[in-house]
Structure 1
Amino acid sequence: MNAETLARKPPITVSTKTTLKEVAKTLAERKIGIVVVVDEKAPQNPLGVISERDIVRAIATGVDLNTPAEKYMTSPVITVEASEPLWKVAEVMRTHNIRHVVVTKGGKLYGVISIRDLIGEESTLRSLIEYGEAEERGPAAD
């Protein structure tokens, strides 16, 4: 399986001018953990992301919730290409300590995969386990 098969699409996006308060409302209403920040003139190019964790951090530090997304987004965006295998998606999440990864296809915004997406599919878990077992065994003998 690859990232394309698991990516939730279309991803939920907001513009750079969307306020943190509006982002928080979108996250709550859509029951999602992340939005992708895009330029309205080029919505296929992800500029950043804002997650639930980012909103909590903003509130905890007293950031004005009328602040535009572009001022508080995480950038650059950590992405995987749609053709990447799911073990690579899991590895990227682990390496960067993130729960969501943006998926691109041909360099253009395609979707988002969450940790919940990875662990929610039995076939995905099998794929990840098989990769882990192959990695533990090491290379094949000549």
Structure 2
Amino acid sequence: MLVREVMTSPVVTVPVSWSVRQAIRLLYDKDITAAPVVDEQGRMVGIISEMDLLRGEFDTDRRVFLRPSAPVDLAPSPGIEEVMTPNVRTVQEDDDVMAAVDLMITMGVKSVPVLRGEQLTGIVSRRDLMGMVAYGDARIRDDVLAALRDSDETSAWRVAVHDGVVELYGDAADASAARKAEMIARSVPEVVDVVLRGGGW
């Protein structure tokens, strides 16, 4: 499976000119844990996480937050450049999804930006990967069944999916119908392989 099949796109980004507090509001409103930081030309210059932002905001001057009478809005908010992580590790959208998994495990990060060449096109998060594992096979099965039902020759085939591998069960009248069912199944996104089980195949 390719990264582009599981990534979130378009990706929410944070302008490098923003303050930490502005970025906190954006991540909170969008319910995301990290976002790439971009310059005026839209080029990625870093990445910012919830922990980076909280550390930047509350480490500015802890004494300000200990004074009950001091409004939080009066506390200075540092700029994004002061707390972001530069030199971000990325993956390409056509990389195998395991490249993103390996980065998350080895680097201890929750999100990995996705590029098409040098252009930022998406982001893949642990949640994206969890969703792929939790619902991937069921979603693939539904998509394959829907595609097979569009043709009278293949509408009766039954489908099972395990780890992205589609198993087709049916009584095909001839080899051409079986080949058609296989081709239809292979055209469905996220299908890893197709195995014919019916009609003596």
Check whether TM > 0.5.
Answer: yes
Q: Do the aligned partners of 1:19 and 1:65 also contact (CA within 8 Å) in 2?
A: no
Shift of 1:87: 1.2
Distance in 1 (CA, whole Å) between partners of 2:110 and 2:35 is: 12
1:100 aligned onto 2:100: no
Q: TM-score, normalised by structure 1?
A: 0.80
Count of aligned pairs: 125
Partner of 2:14: 14
Partner of 2:59: 61
Distance in 2 (CA, whole Å) between partners of 1:65 and 1:14 is: 19
Query: Matched residues, percent identical?
Result: 27
1:1-142 paired onto structure 2 within 5 Å:
1-40=1-40, 42-43=41-42, 45-62=43-60, 66-122=77-133, 123=136, 126=163
Aligned with 2:22: secondary structure?
helix
Gaps of 5+ in 1: 128-142
Does 1 or 2 have the higher relative contact order (CA < 8 Å, sep 6+)?
1
Q: TM-score, normalised by structure 2?
A: 0.58
Q: Do the aligned partners of 1:21 and 1:65 also contact (CA within 8 Å) in 2?
A: no
Shift of 1:57: 2.1
Amino acid at match of 2:56: A
Shift of 1:62: 3.0
Amino acid at match of 1:76: N
Distance in 2 (CA, whole Å) between partners of 1:110 and 1:100 is: 14
Shift of 1:121: 1.5
Shift of 1:60: 4.4
Shift of 1:86: 0.9
Shift of 1:65: 5.3
Q: Would you identify which runs of 4 or more consecutive aligned residues in structure 1 move more than 4 Å?
A: none
Taking only aligned residues, the RMSD between alpha carbons, in angstroms, comes to 2.0
Gaps of 5+ in 2: 62-74, 138-161, 165-201
